[in-house]
Every structure is written in C-alpha cells, then in structure tokens.
Structure 1
C-alpha cells in the first residue's frame, strides 16, 4: 500500500524560496481549531495536541481503507484585534487558528467517526469537540521561506512588504505560517517556516 505524502504531492504548497514570490492556490480542506493566547501557553499546546490526535485518528480510518497518508505539517493563521501590529500586542491577546491539511478524499463523516475515536482515547482533551473540518481558499498569495527563529520573522516580513509595494499588491487576508521544522529537534537558527499572505491588486487612484 502506497502512503500519500502531501508534502511531496503538493510541493508548491510546502516549499518556498528565501525571497518573496507570487503563487496561487485552489480551495483546500483542513481540520482546524481556533483560540487565543500565548503560543507557548497551555491553550495553544492543548489545541495542537487535540488537532494531531484527531488527524491521526482520521489517518487510522483511511489506513484500514488502504488510503494511508502522512499527517501533514502544522500550520497557523494569526491576527490581533484592532488596527495594531502583532508585535505591539501582548502575546496573550494573539488570536490563532491552527490547521492541518487533509487529503482530498477525506469525507466529513469520517472526520466525525474519527472525532468519536479521538475523544475516547483522550477524554481530557474535550476541545477535540471544537475542531472543524473546513476549506480555506486563499487564491493569489505572496510567500517566502523564513529561516531562523520565530522572533526574527519581522526581517522576512519587511522583504514581503517591499515586494508588495513593488508589485502594487495589498494584503487581503490573515498572516499564514507553515511550520516545516520541529522546534524540539531543530536549532532555532535553522528552523524553516513558510510565511504566506493572501493578496489583491492595489487599487489604482484615478486623477
């Protein structure tokens, strides 16, 4: 039985150059969970565990159907309330939605079956019930690979801002990160994270 590896099948989704690039994506299915707080806090850690627990339960169902797949990388959408920059806001006020991409053949009823299995295995993770199965359609995007610690992301974001100005584009969606490295196993200086934003063409000011 051949195992589906989404990272190999969708290379343009899970790879990016170290300089900003324009790219476009079709609607994609994910299991998602939303919350608020410090990414090193207990709420974030529990949400991550819940999302992986459900994802592996889904994988188990499809493995029995001989449609096994590798559980994909963790992703996150990030935002803050009001017209403020995230780094000017206490981390406890950060909003996030965590995502794990699913193969196209995953059915909603299988997700519910997996949810029951996951909640039986991890009774203490009641937030498994909050996980949704939904699509995200970002369409046209700008993205780049950030190499280094999360705290150094502003350096890469400046490159993205300059690129958007040059190409007369504007951000029209949430800050999106794909975590290619496990911070428990990789030095912070070598961590790889894809930074992505949905974009729209800049409005033309008519004289």
Structure 2
C-alpha cells in the first residue's frame, strides 16, 4: 500500500523561497479549530493536541481502506481585533485558527467516526468536539520562507510589504503560517515557517 504524503504531492503548497513570490492556490479541505490566547498558553496547546489526535484517528480509518496518508504539517491563521498590528496587541488577545490539511478523498462522515474514536482515547481533550471540517480557498497569495524564531518574523514581513508595494498588490486575507519545523526538536535559529497572505491587485487611478 502506497502512503500519500501531501508535502511531496503538493510541493508548491509546502515549499517557498527565501524571497517573496506570488502564487495561486486551489480550494483545499482541512480539519480546523479556532481559539484565542497566547500561543504558549494551555488553550493553544490543547487545540494543537486535539487537532493531531483527530487527524491520526482519520488516518487510521483510511489506512483500513488501503488509503493511508502522512498527517500533514500544522498551519495557523492569525488575526487581532480592530486595525492594530498583532505585535502591538497583548498575546492573550490574539485570535487563531489551527489547520491540518486532509487528502481530497476524506469524506465528511468519516470525520465524525474519527471524532468518536479520538474522544474515546482522549476523554480529557473536550475541545475535540470543537473541531470543524472545512475548505479554505486563498487563491492568489504572496509567500516566503522564514528561517529563524517566530519572534523574528517581522524582518520577513517587511520584505513582503516591500514586495507588495513593488508589485502593486495588497493583502486581502489573514496572516497564514505553515510550520515546517517542530519547535520541540529544532533550535529556534533553524526553524522554518512559510509566511503567506492572500492578495489582490491595487487599482491604479490615472487622471
């Protein structure tokens, strides 16, 4: 039985250069969970564990159907209330939605079967019941690979801002991160994170 690895099958989705680039993405299916608070806090930790627990339960169901797959990388959408910049807002006020992409063949009804399995294994993880199965269609995006600690992301974001100005684009969606490295195993200076934003063209008004 051949195991599907989304990172290898969809390389353009899970790779990015060290400099900003424009890319286009089709709709994809994800298991997701939304919350608010410090990413070092217990709510974020529980949400992450719940998402992985459900993902591995889904994997188990499809492995029995001879459709095994590698559980994909964790992703996150981030935002804050109002027009403030995230770094000007206390981390406790940050909003996030965590995602793990699923193969196209995963059926909605199997999510509920997997949820029952996951909740029986991790009864204390009640937030498993809060996980959704939904599509995300970002379309045209700008992205780049950030290498280093999360705290140093503003340096990469400045490159993205400059790139958008040069190419007459503006952000039209949420800050999107794909975590290629496990922070428990990789030292901060070597961590790799894809930074991505949906974008649109800026209309040029001529007189």
TM-score, with structure 2 as normaliser: 0.99
Question: Secondary structure of the residue that 2:77 maps to in structure 1?
Answer: strand
- Listed one character per residue, the Cα deviations across residues 13-65 of structure 1 (whole Å, up to 9, x for unaligned) are 00000000000000000000000000000000000000000000000000000
Give me the whole-angstrom Cα distance separating, in 2, the residues matched to 1:104 and 1:98: 19
1:85 Cα deviation from its structure 2 partner: 0.2
Question: Secondary structure of the residue that 1:35 maps to in structure 2?
Answer: strand
1:206 Cα deviation from its structure 2 partner: 3.8
Unaligned runs of 5+ in 1: none
- Listed one character per residue, the Cα deviations across residues 53-110 of structure 1 (whole Å, up to 9, x for unaligned) are 0000000000000000000000000000000000000000000000000000000000
Query: What RMSD in Å do the two structures reach over aligned CA positions?
Result: 0.5
TM-score, with structure 1 as normaliser: 0.99
The number of residue pairs the alignment matches comes to 207
Give me the whole-angstrom Cα distance separating, in 2, the residues matched to 1:123 and 1:186: 30
Unaligned runs of 5+ in 2: none
1:205 Cα deviation from its structure 2 partner: 2.3
Which segments of structure 1 move beyond 6 Å, counting only runs of 4 or more? none
- Listed one character per residue, the Cα deviations across residues 93-151 of structure 1 (whole Å, up to 9, x for unaligned) are 00000000000000000011000110111111111011000000000000000000000
1:203 Cα deviation from its structure 2 partner: 2.2
Give me the whole-angstrom Cα distance separating, in 1, the residues matched to 2:185 and 2:47: 20
Give me the whole-angstrom Cα distance separating, in 2, the residues matched to 1:121 and 1:184: 23
